[in-house]
Amino acid sequence: MRILVTYAVREVFTEVKFPGLMGNEEVQVGYLRTGVGKAKSAFYLAEAVRSAQPDLVINAGTAGTLRHRVGDIVVCRRFLDRDMQRLAAYGVEHEIDAAPLLKERGYCTHWLGEGTCNTGDTFLTELSDVAGDVVDMEAFAQALVCRAKEIPFIAVKYVTDIIGQNSVKHWEDKLADARRALGEFFEKTGGVV
């Protein structure tokens, strides 16, 4: 089994440790730093998928929120594009549910912390009516690439900041905490199946 772990910035990189064998299958974990934003993220992931041909893509990263606390881990299987959401009346796609393919392949079904990730190309710093549990700048684009390639996708987000409460500063201050907590999350999951 080949797993590709994506992350946006070097400061949150964490080595994902899963059992060496799943049944008779060896687990190979690769890593991809996508950079910040939807366009970069989609481009670099599409290139990596073509060469690595992963069986599963896991996005490990940070997020802001209005609904959770700093330090929470939110596991996202549903994704919204807040930039395209405004064009929904014109038939523009702005929502992806990755849960059915994960369930079909039997991946990450025991991971707790269900949530919806709202992705956009801006760092939200002011209170606004935002759909979803957490906000980021990459996950929807990665979910879109994975769906097009029929690869299961899941995002695990560490909440670094509350939107409207000095978000950028809090995000920067919490990157080391995010790296540590994400590492602990993956160690405790016991694998993807």
For residue 22, is pLDDT > 60? no
Write out pLDDT tens, residues 62-89. Answer: 998 888 899 999 999 999 998 887 777 7
Average pLDDT of 173-190?
88
Mean pLDDT, rounded, of the chain: 88
- 3-class secondary structure per residue, the chain: CEEEEEECCHHHCCCCCCCCEECCEECEEEEEECCCCHHHHHHHHHHHHHHHCCCEEEEEEEEEECCCCCCCEEEEEEEEEHHHHCCHHHCCCCEEECHHHHHHHCCCCCCCCEEEEEECCCCCCCCCCCCCCEEECCHHHHHHHHHHHCCCEEEEEEEEEECCCCHHHHHHHCHHHHHHHHHHHHHHHCCCC
For residue 189, is pLDDT > 90? no
**What's the CA gap between 112 and 151, in Å, rounded?**
21
pLDDT of residue 21: 43
Write out pLDDT tens, residues 127-163. Answer: 566 788 899 999 999 999 999 999 999 999 999 988 8
For residue 92, is pLDDT > 80? no
**What's the CA gap between 29 and 13, in Å, rounded?**
13
For residue 191, is pLDDT > 60? yes
Domains assigned to the chain: 2-189 (3.40.50.1580)
Write out pLDDT tens, residues 8-20. Answer: 999 889 888 765 5
**What's the CA gap between 55 and 78, in Å, rounded?**
19
What pTM, to 2 d.p., does this model score?
0.89
